[in-house]
């Protein structure tokens, strides 16, 4: 394979990967927005998420000790 072909191959691969990365970023943004909406809804319903997280963390530590 000539150098020009190798260069073309790698440039094409990078262009494809850049587009793939952009799509992943879009997906993460959507997921984050949905998570924030659920967090807000839970807070509005009176759920203390920080307390729940501490409880789960302690539970996980206790299970590792046992």
**pLDDT for the residue numbered 63:** 72
Sign of the four-CA dihedral 30, 32, 37, 38: positive
Over 90: is that where the pLDDT of 1 sits? no
Report the distance separating Cα 38 and Cα 42, nearest Å: 6
Report the distance separating Cα 12 and Cα 9, nearest Å: 5
Per-residue model confidence as pLDDT tens digits over 18-64: 999 999 999 999 999 999 999 999 999 999 999 998 888 887 767 76
Number of domains in the chain: 1
Q: How far is CA 45 from CA 41, 42, 48, 50, in A?
A: 6, 5, 9, 14
Quote the domain boundaries for residue 43: 3-65
Report the distance separating Cα 21 and Cα 26, nearest Å: 9
**What pTM, to 2 d.p., does this model score?**
0.68
């Amino acid at each position: 394979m000539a150098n020009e072909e190798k260069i073309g191959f790698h440039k094409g691969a990078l262009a494809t990967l850049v587009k793939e990365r952009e799509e992943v970023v879009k997906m993460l943004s959507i997921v984050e927005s949905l998570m924030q909406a659920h967090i807000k809804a839970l807070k509005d319903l009176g759920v203390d998420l920080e307390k729940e997280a501490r409880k789960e963390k302690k539970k996980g530590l206790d299970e590792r000790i046992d």
